Amino acid sequence: MSHDVELLNTREQMIVDLLLQGCDNEDIARQLNMKLRTVKAYFKRLFTRFGITDGVKRVKLATLLYRRQLEAEAA
């Protein structure tokens, strides 16, 4: 799965790919050999970047990025 490079750096892409596969923070940390707090920090930055401030943030982020990916593939 690929994402718009302008939106995400390589590590962010990896994290979002795992998010879209249904992985939780612990799964992501384990698969990418990162500390759990590092994964949470990445998500916090992504939420801020995309203006996601409330609700089910992980779902909103995944939905937003998935839709953007579909739009880019359709173009």
pLDDT at 66: 82
pLDDT at 4: 45
> Domains in the chain and their CATH numbers?
10-74 (1.10.10.10)
What does the pLDDT profile of the chain (75 residues) look like in tens digits?
444 445 789 999 999 999 989 999 999 999 999 999 999 999 999 999 888 988 889 899 888 888 888 888 887
Residue 52's contacts (CB-CB under 8 Å, 6 or more residues apart) are: 46, 60, 61, 64
pLDDT at 5: 40
Say how many C-beta atoms besides its own lie within 10 A of residue 14's C-beta: 17
Backbone angles phi, psi at 36, to 5 degrees: -60, -40
pLDDT at 11: 94
